[in-house]
């Protein structure tokens, strides 16, 4: 019989439970050959006495080791190291002597119609640059992570906690849907019930499910231009005809929308009512009402992407079109991701109950269901007011950051940049005059600041020469230094261009 007391050390202040420490050390001893197959190990009572632990702790460890296949417990005989090591040993696919080339293939052995698009690749290499200007991300350092983790722990202690690990409603957690209903009734004026709400892994997934359910190749979809390029690419990959209409200071041009509807069978209109991306303008109330009328007249669906509704600074936001939709035209999309953190993928769709049921079936063939544990934890954060408190906090902080960025650009680059101070959102749309944004972005990167040149937002055949500058994810001092780098890069680029022009004139 092997005495384990001298081979095992437990740490009562460690993060791992004591019984797990015992399990890991005994399994390591077996794996390394210190404990050979068939060898008897000392009973739980003796090991507990040797380690000065409660016997139940050692019993739990032995039960776990037996469940994993490391030991065998024989009634009235004792505990023995299993004669067979746990795990699987796969049979070789190739015949002996056949050698496969090293490495996995880079290219596919079949044709792919899609091409890699630069604008769809995530390129925010924070490790390579001192500062990064994204295009409107929240500050994840402010995420109420402790509150979220606390709710996970609370859920884990419930008697029915393991129910969350199984399959549940395809439309999302009923509890979270109920909390979303309560929130939207209070903040958006939506007269809805739980049957009108669908929970998705972020707003983007929700929009893709809705669009792929409604659209067929060749259908026509109207989008704003410039607009959210990711959604536009989504429509293109669905094989639909994308009709672009201008976006001005009041949002999407509804006259242009109506002109297209008169001449073309339109299936869907995609609109961002609050803080349109990337220009940050808000769709005016009269235009919202006209869009509803057009949708009713021409039997068109509207995806109302209200991802930034909660991030407003100056005044109360305008109620969404969904709050006045009596015809069942609007598919209202929102998210908690923009409030909390990009990695916390939680979005929601509000639509007629029939569509919600269809979305559940549609989702089932690609994703089965959502993240039960996350959805339950988020429901509690909404219920106990943690999300509302977090919103109140970040609104004040983000407003300070917006004001600082706008003030520095206006003071240091008068006549060179132009912008409208956004009433909400997490980014600023800045047009540059007399200097190309591509040169500015390149010079900024040389100085340790990563920023996109904004070219991916250009309409076909045009150059807006503008940048979308996210201010929310940087603290005030970080933002001050990053903006200084951007300003210096702009002035340096202008100076370099002037010198080149002068030199060319001398040559001529």
Per DSSP, 414 falls in state: B
Averaged over 282-309, what is the pLDDT? 95
pLDDT digits (tens, 9 = 90+) for 335-382: 999 899 988 999 999 999 999 999 999 998 888 888 888 999 999 999
Range with lowest mean pLDDT among 71-80, 207-216, 320-329, 462-471: 71-80
Query: What residues contact residue 339 under an 8 Å CB cut-off, 6+ apart?
Result: 138, 310, 311, 387, 390, 391, 394
| pLDDT given for residue 76 in this prediction | 83
Q: Provide, rounded to the nearest whole percent, the portion of the chain with pLDDT above 90.
A: 71
> Which pLDDT score, from 0 to 100, does residue 352 have?
96
- pLDDT value of residue 109: 80
For residue 118, pLDDT beyond 70: no
Q: How many CB atoms lie within 10 A of CB 110?
A: 5
CA distance 480 to 395: 19
**pLDDT beyond 80 at 91:** no
Residue 316 predicted with pLDDT over 80: no
Residue 182 has pLDDT above 60, yes or no: yes
> For 347, phi and psi rounded to 5 degrees?
-125, 170
Residue scoring higher pLDDT (461 or 506):
461
Distance CA 57, CA 153 (A): 21
- pLDDT, mean of residues 408-412: 97
Q: Domain ranges for the chain, please list them.
A: 18-81, 123-138+391-507, 143-384
Mean pLDDT of the chain: 90
User: How much is the pLDDT for 426?
Assistant: 95
Angstrom distance (rounded) from CA 240 to CA 235: 6
User: With 90 as the cut, is the pLDDT of residue 323 above it?
Assistant: yes
SS3 285: helix
Domain at 143-384, CATH from 3.40.50.10800, 3.40.640.10, 3.30.930.10, 3.30.420.40: 3.40.640.10
Fold equal for 18-81 and 123-138+391-507: no
Taking residues 205-217, report their average pLDDT. Answer: 95
Residue 115, pLDDT score = 67
**CATH 3.40.190.10, domain 123-138+391-507, yes or no:** no
- End-to-end, the C-alpha distance of the chain in Å comes to 97
Confidence bin at 112 (pLDDT 50/70/90):
confident
Question: 496 with 418: CB under 8 angstroms?
Answer: no
Residue 460 has pLDDT above 90, yes or no: no
Rounded Cα–Cα distance for residues 283 and 248 (Å):
9
| Model confidence at 88: pLDDT above 80 | no
Model confidence pLDDT, tens digit, residues 418-458: 999 999 999 999 999 999 999 999 999 999 999 999 999 99
Q: Specify whether domain 18-81 bears CATH 1.10.10.10.
A: yes
């Amino acid at each position: 019989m092997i005495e384990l007391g001298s081979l095992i050390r437990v740490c009562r202040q460690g993060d791992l439970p004591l019984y797990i420490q015992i399990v890991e050390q005994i399994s390591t001893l077996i794996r390394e050959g210190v404990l050979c197959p068939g060898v008897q190990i000392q009973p739980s009572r003796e090991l507990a006495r040797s380690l000065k632990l409660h016997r139940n702790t050692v019993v739990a460890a032995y039960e776990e080791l037996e469940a994993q296949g490391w030991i065998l417990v024989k009634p009235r005989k004792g505990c023995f190291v299993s004669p067979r090591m746990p795990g699987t040993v796969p049979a070789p696919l190739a015949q002996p002597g056949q050698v496969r080339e090293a490495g996995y293939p880079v290219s596919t052995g079949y044709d792919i119609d899609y091409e890699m698009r630069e604008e769809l690749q995530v390129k925010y290499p924070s490790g390579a640059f001192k500062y990064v200007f994204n295009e409107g991300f929240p500050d994840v350092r402010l995420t109420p992570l402790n509150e979220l983790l606390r709710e996970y722990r609370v859920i884990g202690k419930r008697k029915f906690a393991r129910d969350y690990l199984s399959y549940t409603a395809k439309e999302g957690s009923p509890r979270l849907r109920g909390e979303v209903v309560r929130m939207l009734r209070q903040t958006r004026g939506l007269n809805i019930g739980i049957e009108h709400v669908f929970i998705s892994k972020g707003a983007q997934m929700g929009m893709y499910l809705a669009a792929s359910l409604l659209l067929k190749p060749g259908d026509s979809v109207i989008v704003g231009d410039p607009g959210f390029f990711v959604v536009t690419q989504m429509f293109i990959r669905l094989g639909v005809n994308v009709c672009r209409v201008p976006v001005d200071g009041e949002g999407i041009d509804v006259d242009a929308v109506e002109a297209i509807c008169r001449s073309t069978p339109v299936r869907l209109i995609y609109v961002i009512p609050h803080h349109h991306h990337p220009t940050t303008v808000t769709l005016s109330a009269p235009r919202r009402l006209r869009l509803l009328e057009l949708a009713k007249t021409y039997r068109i669906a509207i995806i109302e992407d209200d991802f930034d509704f909660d991030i407003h600074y100056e005044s109360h936001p305008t109620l969404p079109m969904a709050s006045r939709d009596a015809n069942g035209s609007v598919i209202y999309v929102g998210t908690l991701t923009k409030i909390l953190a990009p990695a916390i993928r939680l979005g929601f769709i509000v639509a007629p109950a029939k569509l919600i049921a269809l979305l559940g079936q549609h989702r089932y063939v690609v994703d089965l269901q959502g993240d039960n544990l996350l959805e339950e934890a988020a429901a509690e954060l909404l219920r106990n007011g943690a999300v509302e408190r977090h919103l109140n906090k970040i609104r004040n902080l983000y407003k300070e950051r917006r004001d600082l960025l706008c003030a520095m650009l206006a003071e240091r680059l008068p006549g060179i940049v132009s912008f409208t101070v956004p009433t909400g959102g997490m980014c600023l749309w800045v047009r540059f005059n007399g200097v190309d944004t591509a040169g500015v972005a390149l010079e900024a990167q040389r100085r340790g600041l990563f920023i996109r040149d904004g070219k991916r937002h250009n309409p076909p055949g045009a150059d807006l020469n503008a940048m979308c500058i996210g201010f929310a994810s940087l603290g005030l001092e970080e933002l001050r230094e990053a903006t200084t780098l951007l300003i210096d890069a702009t002035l340096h680029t202008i100076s370099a261009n002037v010198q080149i022009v002068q030199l060319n004139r001398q040559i001529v």
